[in-house]
Homo-oligomer: A and B are copies of this chain.
Amino acid sequence: MSADPSTAEEIMAGVHHALREYGYADLTMQDIADACSKSKSLLHYHYDTKEDLLVAFLDHLITTFERCVEAGRDRPATERLVEFIAWFGFDPDETDREHFHIALLELRSQGPFNDRIRSRLQRSDRVFRDTVAEIIEQGIEEGVFEPVDVTETAALLVATLDGARTRQITLGELDVDGDTYTRTVARTLIDRVVDPILVDGVELPDVSSVEVLLPRDEPVAVPAVDDSPSTGDDR
């Protein structure tokens, strides 16, 4: 890896920033270089190809997410579930986050064409569904959720939230019943899917009272991720 660990971080932050600004389709190496005040050549010194760089960025992203999930593991299941659901939506003023997810959607749409990207998406999907499954499992053990099929339930929740976010992003600030697409769907999802599996008497905490530990996608300096550049080995 880079002798200077901060260089790798600066580059990752640069990718993040450039993705937010230009989107994936319009993203050039020059954009990234500008965003981290480095030269194109240096990016190629650390990552042989543009693809290598983006794959490293995806790894970085997933790792960050995993770390955050880990950090919240000691909280009650209901709280964690609400956090997860809430995490998917944006407030209309979080344009940075929205721009980033737009870029991410573009990147995801390249999955079918790119094995390496796809493998990261799969890992990310695994992490997402496992996280939700684990939360539900935990809830069942805690006696707050009915004993449902956790795998199916996790798949449903993730698909729904993802679909809502995708639609909200691609359609713009479209209102559905006077609220955001994602929020409308999230609310309905809770009413129709989550509430029915709550054990009688159990209530979900209010969204506003739940601390969100999952990454808000800020270009925070991350504690040093080892993604050795240009080693070339890939799955």
> Taking beta carbons and an 8 Å cutoff, which residues of A are in contact with B?
23-26, 99, 102, 105-106, 108-113, 118, 121-122, 125, 149, 151-153, 155-156, 158-164, 166-167, 169-172, 174, 176-177, 181, 184-185, 187-189, 192-193, 196
Contacts and interface: CB of A to CB of B under 8 A. Distances in A.
Contact of A112 (B108, B109, B121, B169): B169
Describe A's contact surface by its main secondary structure: helix
B111 A184 contact: no
Nearest to A184: B155
A142 B109 CA distance: 40
A171 B125 contact: yes
Nearest to A103: B109
B109 A174 contact: no
Given A163-B160, A181-B155, A184-B152, A111 B170 contact: yes
Contacts of A118: 170-172
Nearest to A197: B192
A177 B152 contact: yes
Contact of A156 (B121, B155, B192): B192
